[in-house]
Amino acid sequence: MENHSKIIFHIDMNAFFCSVACILYPHLRGKAFAIGRENSYKGVISTASYEARALGIHSAQPLAEAYKIKPDLRVVHIDYSIYNDYHKKFVKLISEYTNIIEVASIDEVYADMTLISKKIHPIVLAKEIQLRLLKEHNLPCSIGIAPTLFLAKMASDMKKPLGLTVIRKREVKDILYPLPVKDIFGIGKKTFPKLMEKGINTIADFMNPENKDKIINTVGENIYNYAYNHILGNSSNIVDPYRYDESKSISTSETFDVPLISFDEIIIELRRMTKSIYKRMIKDNYFTKTVTLTLRDTNFNTITRQISYDEYTDSFDEIFDSVYELLEENMKDLEYRLIGVGVSNLVKEDKLPKEYNLFTLADTSNKEIVIENLINDFQVKFGKNALYRKKK
């Protein structure tokens, strides 16, 4: 790597859901199988083993179509909590090498290995991590090494499974430019076909200044500038363990191997997520003004909807009622592979406006004091029998 450059690893589990399935069901190893809804022709493939992919079976593919390709295709479903357990094992192992880790999803992390790489060569280190994950947890991974997060992500995607790729800034033209334009991280599945229609087939085409205007006309100036500068290595090299823990918002989301199709099963998961967020709110004494719901269907269409309050609240019932309302208003007759919930516009209890409404105070004892004071003031003005509390 260049002198003074950060050494960023992007560690990406290979077919993570399938890898976990093989741990639980060893007979699946080396076989063509998929993760999805068992014993059903409804729904879509969540992910497929590499052997199944070689047959043309892929994620987001209707199960009925996959069965036409391979009538005896084995489809399995595993509880999400098991995936989460293996995610924790994966992250724990990486934390033995650095504490500067940013979790990007359940099956990928960025890790700043700059410090430890002064003692161990980064390629040796990457091979050691790959070997340990495989031997200790039966989890294969690919690792990209680069001076920025974007280039590390691009590198890890180049060789799967068990790939190891290094991209230095001076090597970008040699390594990335020959790749198809669809491989640019951040260019969506609906975008790259439009670029190809304009003759932008490779990353080299994308980076060619002569194509700038027609690319901007296709994807917009913001996306063009983002991708162009990131490919050149002019982007962030900061691995931020707290990137998603900012006090401005608390959120959580999950991707399900078997898409959710009914209101009841979605609302059960959303209630669990809301409880998790609520615990974090109460732990840190936060109040919220905005509740957000995220839904992504199996065609990767994502909607985000929110409700904002006039007053801050720390009421679980009020927050969950909002989640329920948002789901009722926005759920369609679709299959959902990702759902999420969040709260934002947060403020600490001690930072609440002084004139704050008594009905949104967090502490029940505080509410009681305010109520008693109001009753006493009313009685002084209008008599003791004008307003009083029933005895229990």
User: What domains can be seen in the chain, in order of their start residue?
Assistant: 1-169 (3.30.70.270), 176-241 (1.10.150.20), 249-351 (3.30.1490.100)
Is the pLDDT at 373 greater than 80, yes or no?
A: no
Angle in degrees, CA 61, 65, 67, rounded to 5 = 115
C-alpha R_g of the chain: 26
Q: What is the pLDDT of residue 306?
A: 87
- Please state, for a pLDDT cut of 70, what percent of the chain lies above it: 87
Q: Are 286 and 362 in contact (CB under 8 A)?
A: no
Q: What is the pLDDT of residue 318?
A: 87
- Beta strand pairing call for 101-105 and 249-260: unpaired
What does 272-324 look like in DSSP terms, one character per residue? HHHHHHHHHHHHTTEEEEEEEEEEEETT--EEEEEEEEEEEE--HHHHHHHHH
Burial (CB count within 10 angstroms: exposed 0-12, middle 13-18, buried 19+), residue 309 = middle
Is the pLDDT at 389 greater than 60, yes or no?
A: no
Q: What is the pLDDT of residue 196?
A: 96
Cα distance between residue 367 and residue 358, in whole Å = 6
Is the pLDDT at 386 greater than 60, yes or no?
A: no
Q: What is the pLDDT of residue 376?
A: 61
- pTM of the full predicted structure? 0.67
pLDDT, the chain, mean: 87
pLDDT tens-digit map of 206-253: 999 999 999 999 999 988 999 999 999 999 999 988 775 545 688 999
Query: Does 108 participate in catalysis according to the annotation?
Result: yes
Angstrom CA distances, 159 to 14, 25, 272, stand at 10, 26, 37
Residues 6+ apart with CB under 8 A from 252: 273, 276, 277, 340, 341, 342
Is the pLDDT at 296 greater than 70, yes or no?
A: yes
Q: Side chain identity at 52, as an amino acid letter? A: A
Q: How far is CA 18 from the centre of its chain?
A: 19
pLDDT tens-digit map of 47-61: 899 999 999 999 878
Mean pLDDT of all residues in 143-168:
96
Q: Active-site residue among 65, 96, 102, 108? A: 108
Is the pLDDT at 31 greater than 60, yes or no?
A: yes
Is the pLDDT at 362 greater than 50, yes or no?
A: no
